[in-house]
Amino acid sequence: MPEAQKGQQAPPRFDELMARAEALVPVLRERAARAEELRQMPDETIVDLHSSGLFRMLQPARVGGSELPFRGLFELTAVIGQGCGSTSWVLANLAAHHWLLGMWHPEAQEEIWGESPDSLISSALIFARGRASRVPGGYRLNGRWPFSSGIDASTWNMFGAIVNDEETGQSEARMFLLPKNDYNIIDTWQVIGLAATGSKDVEVSDTFVPAYRTLSTERIRGGPNRGSELNPGGLYRLPAVSLFGFAIAGVSQGIARGALGHFTETTRTRLSAYTGRNIADLTNIQVHLAEAAALADAAEAMALRDCDEAMRITEAGIVPSLEQRARYKRDGAFAATLCTRAVDLLFSASGGGAIYARNPIQRAFRDVHAANAHYNLNWDVNGAIYGRVALGLSPDAPL
């Protein structure tokens, strides 16, 4: 395994990554329409995310990654989302997979990062869509999964599947790493939101996966795991199952911030088509803007509080409690919900002009609703998990 790349330049820290992300915002905003037409990230955007170091923000420092605190993923994807929601979504997912790989068997880490620490890993973690059976030395995997974001730029994929034990009748949720040659990409991505994420279907047919390239979800619910010997930092002992909502809620935050910036800038000089009055003088417009900004601020504060708390608890050698993990699920989804409400307010306050394709507000509206459809950001699903735990019931979901 390559160690912290002796003789090479030190990986960028948070401030440098933030400056690079901010510099990309106008570039990504300019590319957003073409990216939607392509239905995937333009090649030059993938190059920019590589050269900036953003893909590797949560990768272990021992292989040249920045190994930022977990909150960095939320903050940096929120900045990128101000330029392009789809780019932010792909970045959030692929950067998070470097984080998850740090929890896997050392041999799996060596195989992927030894080949190239810049390797990108997409995912297909809808477990009910896959089935696996134990065989000598590993597993055989079958399934077809939707929503594999950034798959065209990736050389590996992280699959979720259910392993059934015929002898005991028990089942287990397990993840599987496969190289690109072992799966087929099926282009089904014709959508109205996050259109440039290229989140296509992917299929695996009776493929052998060695045991070291698999991991039970039980091992990423907080505390030591298969990768702890190599990566002892608190980042890689976080309860990944409970915190993943924050990994993608930063996308919603970025979309809302981008919509706020555009609305504020254009409304200052906008005149009513019917009365000729300055729109900025209307009290209802002022109040809608204030409410949308407050919703985005509240979402950010909630998300960063929880990310910091989880890091602090984990670095103290403690696994967050069931109640805390249920709250993380709740807050990740609620933060995204608040951002969606903010964009809805701005879309409504923009009047008829919001429906024109040239208006970025319409893309923000479509993208933020697409993001909020993700299972980890669905308020009904994750709110119910918290409610069950708070009422003394089992969560009825993995935490």
Q: Which residues contact 141 (CB under 8 A, 6 or more apart)?
A: 130, 131, 132, 159, 161, 176, 178, 204, 206, 207, 208, 209
* Overall average pLDDT of the 95-120 stretch: 98
Q: Would you state the structure tokens that stand for residue 107, as one six-digit string?
A: 């041999």
Give the pLDDT score at 1.
Answer: 40
Are the C-beta atoms of 147 and 202 separated by less than 8 Å? no
Bridge partners of 174? 161, 216
Give the pLDDT score at 173.
Answer: 95
Distance, in Å, from the CA atom of 59 to the CA atom of 99, rounded to the nearest integer, reads: 6
* Overall average pLDDT of the 267-294 stretch: 88
pLDDT-based confidence at 12, cuts 50/70/90? Answer: very high
Q: Does the pLDDT value for residue 200 go beyond 60?
A: yes
What residue ranges define each of the domains in the chain, with the CATH number in brackets? 14-115 (1.10.540.10), 121-218 (2.40.110.10), 238-390 (1.20.140.10)
Which is more confidently placed, 280 or 337?
337
DSSP for 70-90 reads THHHHHHHHHHHTT-HHHHHH
pLDDT digits over 210-221, tens only?
999 999 999 999
Q: Does the pLDDT value for residue 138 go beyond 90?
A: yes
Distance, in Å, from the CA atom of 138 to the CA atom of 249, rounded to the nearest integer, reads: 35
pLDDT-based confidence at 8, cuts 50/70/90? Answer: low
* Overall average pLDDT of the 235-257 stretch: 97
CA dist list (Å): 194 to 157, 363, 370: 20, 9, 6
Span of 26-30, 208-212, 349-353 with lowest mean pLDDT: 349-353
Are the C-beta atoms of 385 and 377 separated by less than 8 Å? no
Give the pLDDT score at 5.
Answer: 47
Q: Would you state the structure tokens that stand for residue 47, as one six-digit string?
A: 């190059």
* Residue 61 three-state SS: helix
* Overall average pLDDT of the 83-89 stretch: 98
* Overall average pLDDT of the 371-384 stretch: 96
* Overall average pLDDT of the 185-199 stretch: 98
pLDDT-based confidence at 278, cuts 50/70/90? Answer: confident
Residue 67 has a CB neighbour count (10 Å cut-off) of: 24
Give the pLDDT score at 219.
Answer: 93
For the chain, give me the number of helices (H) and strands (E)? 10, 8
pLDDT-based confidence at 2, cuts 50/70/90? Answer: very low
Are the C-beta atoms of 159 and 175 separated by less than 8 Å? yes
Are the C-beta atoms of 173 and 217 separated by less than 8 Å? yes
Helix (H) or strand (E) holding 297: helix 283-315
Closest by CA to 383, choosing from 304, 306, 319, 328, is 328
What mean pLDDT value characterizes the chain?
A: 95
Residue 349 has a CB neighbour count (10 Å cut-off) of: 21
